[in-house]
Chains A and B, each alone.
Chain A
Amino acid sequence: MKTDLKWHIRVNVKAAIARAYVRVVGTNREFSWIFFDTLLPLLGTAAYVYIYRAMDAPEEYVGFVLLGGAMTAYWMNVLWNMASNFYFERQGWNLELYFIAPISRMAILAGMAIGGMFMTTIRAGSLIVLGSLLFNVSFSVSSVPLVVLTFVLTLVALYGLGMLFSSLFLMYGREAWHTSNLLQEPVYLLTGFYFPVRALGFYIAIAASIIPLTLGMDAVRQLVFSHLHFGLLPVHVEIAGLGVLGVGLLYAAGVALERMERAAKKEGRLTLRWQ
């Protein structure tokens, strides 16, 4: 049993690394993404900066927009480079090969997420750095370790959510893809990508906290703009909430993946292309 568990862990780690390798190497084989995924998104985020400036908003809102723009990169990574990847793998004839291998589905998804993080982090990082320089944003970070902790917890919970979504793609094809497409703007709205989420009203914001980005961004903003007071909940409460969300979402993802896989095999949809 002990050898089995050791083997199980080893093969899943290897699978995750291999899948991450595909993404990292693939990204670096062709550099068009540097322009399309790094420089241009800065312009899109800048538009929201100018919206606030046109409204004569306080300058700290520029900082909110920059952080929101950076997190957009991770949300897009979760949605398109992880959650919907089973859809793309199925179209690319690879899904079957992953599913007949003795590996956890979450290992593959984790590999995709880790591999995609390379491009995503460059996008987010360049947005923050260049945006701060361009728009003279200054940060008053109260605790760097707490910012890092919050960020990591947010990502773990976010990727758990992404894995949960990915289970839909085992069963459904384009319906799930369009659902992912549908989720982009409502998530930007409900999680307060470009404004403090408290502006939505306390109860709506609390309900939106099921999406890890809501608590994550609010906490990071509070830590990074510590001289301002706009938070939904105290930072330590939000960090605890992220921890709970992370565990809960990862567990839910595991259950959902197993159930959806079983349902898809029963219906004969697991390997059904172009549905």
Chain B
Amino acid sequence: MSEAIITEQLRREFRVDKEGKRREAFVALDGVDLEVNRGEIFGLLGPNGAGKTTLIKILSTLLTPTSGRAVVGGFDVTSDPYSVRRIINMVSGGEHSGYGILTVRENLWLFSQLYGIPNRVALERIDRLMDIVGLSDRARTKVHKLSTGQRQKMNFIRGFISDPEILFLDEPTLGLDVETSRVIRKYIREWVDGRPDRTVLLTTHYMAEADQLCDRLAIVNQGRILACDTPSALKRRVGQDSVLEIDVSAQAGRLQDLSGLSAKRGVRRVAISSDGQGALTHKLSVIVDGDGAIPGVLEFLAQCGAIVTGFKKTEPTLEDVFLELVGRRLTGENGSQVAHKG
């Protein structure tokens, strides 16, 4: 099976107390269809209360769906949870798990034993992972003396100890400093790439993290998946155009040549600014309708004798995608309504 995770019309309702003690149904997941391929890092992006953690809880067998089906690693989470548990692990950001009175190493060893890992192998993995995240010097520190970030590092290590096929990471870099987050993201990528059957389902609020790490993303809101694609494709949905900010140096007499850039294929608009007549440096803002136009632009500049001293490309971000999708009600073939954001 090439899919690590499949959900079909997954629905989860909770009964919540309302005023006057009536219990009403709150729909946390509303017919979620999802396919996560083996070997990919799949991201879930959504606002608070969108249903991301509920979905992870179902997939990790902590919650049963109200209706629908979820299959993890080829095993149904409802009818065969034991088989699912053998191949998964989970790390949640901000969790306080562990035993404060035990050391970091002891806690990690404990959790390794829940997966039947031989002692020698477990301790080797623990030491290696502590080295990677920079926790080796705290190995013998009691957990209740750790800082929030150090505790999160320990939680992170715990998720990898069992070397699962499928790993659920629920905001794994929450509370971590920039450098450690970078190390962890790098490790996640290397870990997934290290074996073809390893898969990660990641939830995060950090757009840059999702953009950098995820092979594919799903935008979730109010229990529904609004969009699912690669980060680039999602960004292209919001707007195809990219803006190139190019710094060039050219002789004053060649300015006209530069303005001919607007006639090039794929170039929508060109704006040239300089510091005055006879200036040697110019700033070009070139709006192109896709990456395919970039080589043509650079070739033209070279033919004009302009020397490119600076180049920057800006394009729609995931944040734009997120706001664009989450800020609108949906109409499509499924009969829900669309309205553009004002």
A and B touch in the complex (CB under 8 A): yes
Q: Is B191 an interface residue (CB 8 A)?
A: no
- Counting chain A residues whose Cβ lies within 8 A of the other chain, the interface size class is 20 to 34
Q: Is the CB of B114 within 8 A of A26?
A: no
Is A5 close to B, CB under 8 A?
no
A11:B116 contact, CB within 8 angstroms: yes
A98 at the B interface (CB under 8 A): yes
Contact B62 A15 (CB under 8 A): no
Contacts of B62 in A (CB 8 A): 96, 99-100, 265, 270-271
* A206 at interface by CB-CB < 8 Å: no
B57 contacts the other chain (CB 8 A): yes
Q: How many residues of B contact A (CB 8 A)?
A: 33
Does A221 have its Cβ within 8 Å of any Cβ on chain B?
A: no
Query: Complex formed: what's the CA distance from A51 to B90 in Å?
Result: 56
Closest Cβ of chain A: how far from B65's Cβ, in Å? 10
Cα A203 to Cα B109 with chains together (Å): 51
The answer to whether B96 touches A15, judged by C-beta atoms less than 8 angstroms apart, is no
B111 touches A (CB below 8 Å): yes
**Which residues of chain B from 251 to 293 have any CB-CB distance to chain A below 8 Å in the complex?**
none
Given contacts A18-B114, A100-B88, contact A262 B82 (CB under 8 A): no
- Complexed CA–CA distance, A223 and B293 (Å): 95
Q: Given the known A-B contacts A26-B102, A100-B61, A100-B62, are A18 and B113 also in contact in the complex, defined by CB atoms under 8 Å? A: yes
Partner of A17, one of B14, B15, B63, B113: B113
> Cβ of A100 and Cβ of B97 under 8 Å apart?
no
Tell yes or no: B173 within 8 A of A by CB. Answer: no
- CB pair A265–B63 under 8 Å, yes or no, is yes
Return B144 CB to nearest CB of chain A, in Å: 11
A39 within 8 Å of B (CB atoms): no
Which of chain B's residues have a CB closer than 8 A to the CB of A15?
113-114, 116
Main secondary structure of the interface of B (DSSP, over half): mixed
Q: How far is the CB of B185 from chain A (nearest CB, A)?
A: 23
**Which A residues are in CB contact (< 8 Å) with B142?**
29
User: B96 to nearest A CB, angstroms?
Assistant: 5
Check if A101 sits within 8 Å of B85, measured CB to CB.
yes
Residue from the list B12, B89, B96, B113 in contact with A100, Cβ < 8 A: B89
Contact with B along A1-40 (1 / 0, CB 8 A): 0000001001100110111011001100110000000000
A19 touches B97 (CB 8 A): no
Which residues of chain B come closer than 8 Å to A102, judged between CB atoms? Answer: 82, 85-86, 114-116
**Chain A: which residue is nearest B162 at the CB level?**
A101
Pairwise interchain contact B110-A18, C-beta atoms closer than 8 A: yes
17-70 of chain A: CB within 8 A of chain B: 17-19, 21-22, 25-26, 29-30
Please determine whether B115 and A99 come into contact, CB atoms closer than 8 angstroms.
Answer: no
Interface residues in B1-27 (C-beta closer than 8 Å to A): 12, 14-15
Q: Roughly how many angstroms separate A26 CA and B101 CA in the complex, as a whole number?
A: 6
The winner among B89, B90, B96, B113 for most chain A CB atoms within 10 A is B113
B63 pairs with A97, CB closer than 8 A: no
Residues of chain B within 8 A (CB-CB) of A262 are 64
Q: How would residues 91 to 126 of chain B score, 1 for a CB under 8 Å from any chain A CB and 0 otherwise?
A: 010011111011000100111011110000000000
Q: Is the CB of A93 within 8 A of B114?
A: no
Q: Are A94 and B98 in contact (CB under 8 A)?
A: yes
Knowing that A93-B97, A98-B114, A101-B111 are A-B contacts, what are 15 other residue pairs whose CB atoms are under 8 Å apart, sorted by A's residue number?
A11-B116, A21-B110, A22-B99, A26-B99, A30-B101, A93-B98, A97-B111, A100-B61, A100-B88, A100-B89, A102-B82, A102-B85, A102-B86, A265-B64, A266-B64
B binding-site residues for A, Cβ under 8 Å: 12, 14-15, 57, 60-64, 82, 85-86, 88-90, 92, 95-99, 101-102, 106, 109-111, 113-116, 142, 158
Seen from chain A, the residues whose Cβ lies within 8 Å of a Cβ on chain B are 7, 10-11, 14-15, 17-19, 21-22, 25-26, 29-30, 92-94, 96-103, 262, 265-268, 270-271
13 A-B residue pairs with Cβ-Cβ distance under 8 Å, sorted by A, are A15-B114, A22-B106, A29-B142, A92-B96, A93-B95, A94-B97, A94-B99, A97-B90, A97-B158, A103-B114, A265-B63, A265-B64, A266-B64
9 residue pairs, one from A and one from B, having the closest CB atoms = A11-B116, A18-B113, A101-B114, A102-B85, A93-B97, A102-B86, A14-B113, A265-B64, A93-B96
